[in-house]
Chain A
């Protein structure tokens, strides 16, 4: 398989969570590839030879990787311009300019800006917060007039958290919803009530509960969806990097 940003992002997060010191990761190669993956539009492709349309997901993966490896071999300005252009008339972000505002791409946009320390590039924070909050019905939906789904509790919850607005959420309604998507026999979370659980919805269900300070769960670092413990470990690793790039 050709290397892929999403796999690279996931692998790095897993290694951090497991306490690996990343010395066996070919940092230079990854950073070089990322610099080649950026397009003139500012957007970032996931692979060098075409796998899927480029969109906000890979901007996020690239930012998470750069943050993790503590080096930014990309043009941040053109990247941020692309992100800004992807804000729709609704005040939240689509996958690409013109795309419908969506909870997933909105998380990716906010987290990317957060990791680049450029939250000030957000076009209209008030409208964005309101759009995010309006997604709550019990749990959260991905777009207006669509069904709620467990994972949106994370995409929206984490977005609001990064904007210091998580307190506006009705936490008991969200928690109540999440508990209905939990399988009472085998555990885990499905995307909705009475749907078979899967690892993705289980992870994001737990992440959302963690954001709401559920007892027994570690605190979460929202921009990377890793535990705060793993995040602090990453910060320690950063002090060991030499800045060659």
Chain B
């Protein structure tokens, strides 16, 4: 499309539309029937917000609309302006929903607006809630999973996105394929704790977390990731989570895997802490040589205090005292 003015007096100014001059609501003839309502800041206003004239004008008219309980298409547009000016104003969003409900507005259009706003304000609670309400009304997840995936592309740990995703999956039974999605995110960023959490969400709700096969394969999965990044807290937390109802010292393949790491000189505070926990389990159940176990535990805890995890020295010292108090002979306790 090439330029040159058309006959109606409008100038073509390239691909971008010439911005229409903004007209305040108070100057719009189609709104002349409405009396704007100023904000009530009380008799002694403190820490007043310096609203722009444009903001004040839109909200004066929003308050007027609410007072009149008007739910028209012009009111709908007004709520859009108000929401854009302050997306965190929950009253505006709630009122918008009541208008949408009354007018039976196009929900797909609303979803498009929502998409635009999510990308502009990806951590805004009200916008995500509004989106949830629309999808709830639509009773159809549509492309929502891939929408959430695209938000996660921008920020793979966006709490709102993950929360919305869990809601969607539960509501519409979209479990199929989620484990693969989670695995791909972990492959991209092995330290993405949100992805690991989602993995637990899928395994515990969709798979049988009590099945020995599942537990074994998840343990193997975690250990593989741990071998790649031994100082990454996420797979260690996940491993503990998967095994939380189990007795660790009885898990011979796990212990063998950990021993191999130790023999390969893997230096990780998480590995060492795991080893101490296993020893404490054994001590509690009276398994193995108490003195030998205590010696190993003390060495590990000293190592953690002095070298591997010095910021938590107070905690490691406490663990050391506790284990001594509980299991040492009286003469050995400091």
Contact = CB atoms under 8 A, between A and B. Distances in A.
Contacts of A134: 233, 312
A88 B163 contact: no
Contact of A89 (B132, B191, B244, B313): B244
Interface in B72-121: 89-91, 93-94, 97
Nearest to B200: A89
Given A133-B315, A137-B311, A145-B233, A89 B238 contact: yes
A90 B241 contact: yes
A99 interface: yes
B304 interface: no
B163 A143 contact: no
Interface string A80-122: 0000000011100011101111100000000000000000000
A167 interface: yes
Nearest to A137: B311
Contacts of A52: 90, 125-126, 128-129
B227 interface: no
B157 A51 contact: no
Nearest to A4: B90
B188 to A, nearest CB: 13
A167 B314 contact: yes
A47 B159 contact: no
Contacts of B90: 1-2, 4, 47, 51-52
A177 B272 CA distance: 27
Interface in B169-223: 170, 191-194, 197, 200-201, 204-205
Contacts of B237: 89-90, 131, 144
Contact of A143 (B97, B157, B315, B318): B157
B242 interface: yes
Interface residues of B, number: 43
B162 interface: yes
A96 to B, nearest CB: 7
B232 interface: yes
Interface in B224-259: 232-234, 237-238, 240-242, 244
Given A89-B237, A133-B315, A51 B126 contact: yes
Contacts, number: 106
B29 to A, nearest CB: 30
Interface class of chain B by DSSP? helix
Interface string A193-224: 00000000000000000000000000000000
A138 B234 CA distance: 19
A130 to B, nearest CB: 8
Interface centre among B157, B197, B314, by most chain A C-beta atoms within 10 angstroms, is B197
A169 interface: yes
Nearest to B98: A49
B129 A143 contact: no
Interface string B111-143: 000000000000001101100110000000000
Contact of A98 (B97, B126, B201): B201
A100 B197 contact: yes
Given A145-B234, A170-B314, A53 B197 contact: no
B56 interface: no
25 contacts: A47-B90, A50-B97, A51-B93, A52-B126, A52-B129, A53-B129, A53-B132, A53-B167, A89-B204, A89-B244, A90-B241, A95-B159, A95-B163, A96-B166, A99-B159, A100-B159, A100-B197, A102-B159, A127-B240, A131-B237, A138-B311, A144-B234, A145-B192, A168-B312, A168-B318
Sort A-B residue pairs by CB-CB distance and give the 7 closest, nearest first: A89-B241, A51-B90, A100-B197, A52-B125, A168-B315, A145-B191, A144-B233
Interface of B: 89-91, 93-94, 97, 125-126, 128-129, 132-133, 157, 159, 162-163, 166-167, 170, 191-194, 197, 200-201, 204-205, 232-234, 237-238, 240-242, 244, 311-315, 318
Interface of A: 1-2, 4, 47, 49-53, 55, 88-90, 94-96, 98-102, 127, 130-131, 133-134, 136-138, 143-146, 167-170, 173
